[in-house]
Amino acid sequence: MTQPAFEIVLVHDGAAVTLRASLRAVVTLDSMAGGIAEVWDQISRLSWSRVRAVILAAATDRQDAHRFLAATADKPLCAILPDAQAACLAVLASYQPEPAEAAQGRATTAEAMPLRAYFQTLYDYATGWLGWTPSETWAASPAEIEAAFAAHVDRLVKMTPGLSDEVGKAGTSTSTAYTAEHLREIDELGYDPAFDRAGFERLKAQQNG
């Protein structure tokens, strides 16, 4: 079941900031030395600098983030660090697929896609295929983009007469589970096995005719 992006509100001394597990946040954090794994490890070790990094990256309003951090600047870390650590770890954990979803992932022989390439693919699909603005794309979570893209492809398939039957006869998968591995396979093939690009071009020609 599709869920909205994870959000959590941090409040301290009258200052509040909302953290959202957006594409912008995860790309920013993964670009740091050691990537997401190192960020997680450092926060687990109570690194305030990494907690600050997550707050700044995941804040839905950067000014709120700066106000929140300013409100904690002259306070003992023990007063805010436990809650901030828990919130930041929750944001990072939300990027991981649920075990049930992972088990239903589409079987493939493709090599795992590097996170950076995966995020770039999601950005390209959101701005190119879905027509979202860059700001809308950056604010969405990876899971939201995957779900929207899967629905988009499913709609195109249903709108193209005979396409589902043709795909089935060809023995290709009609799965719309857009995992990192599936997106990698799409990039390598140059097309989505569940979507006839030529059929889509014919459909566009019919609509424009």
List, for residues 49-99, the tens digit of each pLDDT value.
999 999 999 999 999 999 999 998 888 888 899 999 999 999 999 987 655
With 50 as the cut, is the pLDDT of residue 31 above it? yes
- The residues near 29 (Cβ < 8 Å, ≥ 6 apart) are 35, 36, 39, 53, 54, 57, 92
> Would you say 174 and 194 are in contact if contact means Cβ atoms under 8 Å apart?
yes
pLDDT of residue 79: 87
Q: Which of 12-21, 124-133, 148-157, 182-191 has the lowest mean pLDDT?
A: 182-191
- Shared domain for 122 and 149, answered yes or no, is yes
Mapped onto helix, strand or coil, the DSSP state of residue 174 is coil
Residue 101: inside a domain:
no
| Alpha carbon distance 203, 201 (integer Å) | 5
Residues 153-183: pLDDT tens digits? 877 777 765 555 544 444 444 444 555 556 5
| Structure token pair of residue 130 | 């879905």
What pTM, to 2 d.p., does this model score?
Answer: 0.71
Domain of residue 195, residue span:
106-208
pLDDT (mean) for 17-42: 95
Split into its structural domains, the chain has a count of 2
pLDDT of residue 169: 46
pLDDT (mean) for 178-203: 52
pLDDT of residue 40: 94
Task: Give the number of other CB atoms < 10 A from CB of residue 6.
Answer: 18
Phi, psi angle pair for 97, to nearest 5°: -70, 150
- The residues near 176 (Cβ < 8 Å, ≥ 6 apart) are 150, 151, 153, 154, 194
- Shared domain for 126 and 89, answered yes or no, is no
Please identify which residue in the block is written with the tokens 């990072």.
92
Last residue of a domain, one of 33, 67, 94: 94
pLDDT of residue 14: 86
- What pLDDT band is residue 4 in, cutting at 50, 70 and 90? confident
- Shared domain for 56 and 122, answered yes or no, is no
Residue 1: inside a domain:
no
